[in-house]
Amino acid sequence: MKAFVLSGLCAAALWGGAARAQEDYQPRAENVEVETVEQYSRTNRADTGVYAMLAGGAEGYTGQLAPSVNPGLSYGATLGYRPSPYFGVELGYSGGLTDVDFNRPNGGGIAEGPDIVRNGGQALLVGNMTDTKLQPYVVSGVGVETYNVRSDGRGSALGFNDDTSGYVPAGIGLRYQLGGLITADARVAYNILFDQDFAPSTLDPGVGDGRYSATLSLGGTY
């Protein structure tokens, strides 16, 4: 009987020791690396794709052209495509209405209404500085435009004539996308003219004899 009791006590002791050893042995989690995948938030990211805008503002001329042509109205339309938030291409129409700096008895220039009507087209590359909905950017490219002098012959006597020439636009801007469909854009550009034969000049044209513009645009990205 005593041997039976001793055997039972030994078996219980061995079982308890094995169970405690099993509980004490646990795999260490110190060396297990947990990878965290960051979800990039798109709530403030610029939309890509096709966009279209209408623009209005003011323009003027610099250098030897400034005394001959007064500042006037600038307007245009843009169709662009952004394949990525940082890069885009644009095709645009650019127009302008200006008066010749000439004193008529009833004020204004040399004709009723605008004296010079400008129409042109341009192809631009756009480099965006951020990928957010508020985007500063730089822009440059090439364009061609025509000048129509509406003067009933008096403009030619003063040295103004119809002309077609090219130009290189360079500008900076700030774009903001409001929601998924509305895009607002403010842009300042300086256009280097290939020639200025539409206006009288006594000097060879230079980089400083160009046209500046400041426009506000409104449209959407689709």
Q: How many domains does the chain contain in total?
A: 1
pLDDT at 10: 45
Structural tokens at position 108:
């204004």
Which neighbouring-strand residues pair with 149? 116
In a domain, 5, yes or no: no
Instruction: Judge whether 96 lies within some domain.
Output: yes
Residue 71 belongs to a domain with what CATH number?
2.40.160.20
Domain assignment present for residue 40? The answer is: no
pLDDT of residue 166: 95
Residue 40 CB: number of other CB atoms within 10 A?
Answer: 5
Of 91, 61, 55, 53, nearest to 74 (Cα)? 55
Would residue 44 count as lying in a domain?
A: no
Q: Are the beta carbons of 153 and 167 closer than 8 angstroms?
A: no
Element (H, E) at 6: helix 2-24
**Residue 23, domain member (yes or no):** no
Q: How confident is the model at residue 36, as a pLDDT?
A: 40
Q: Is 100 a domain residue?
A: yes
Residues 6+ apart with CB under 8 A from 43: none
Q: Is 143 inside any structural domain?
A: yes
d(CA 65, CA 73): 16
| Alpha-carbon radius of gyration of the chain | 36
Per-residue pLDDT of the chain (222 residues; tens, 9 = 90+): 444 444 444 444 445 554 554 555 555 544 444 444 444 455 788 899 999 999 999 999 999 899 889 999 999 999 999 999 999 999 999 999 999 887 655 556 777 788 999 999 999 999 999 999 999 999 999 999 999 998 766 777 778 889 999 999 999 999 999 877 899 999 999 999 998 888 887 667 778 889 999 999 999 988
Upper half-sphere CA count for residue 194 (Cβ side, 13 Å): 11
Contact partners, residue 103, CB within 8 Å, separation at least 6: none
CA terminus-to-terminus distance, the chain: 93
Residue 131's domain comprises: 49-221
Say if 179 falls within a structural domain. yes
Name the DSSP class of 173.
E
- Written as one string, the DSSP assignment of 186-208 is EEEEEEEES--TTS--SS---TT
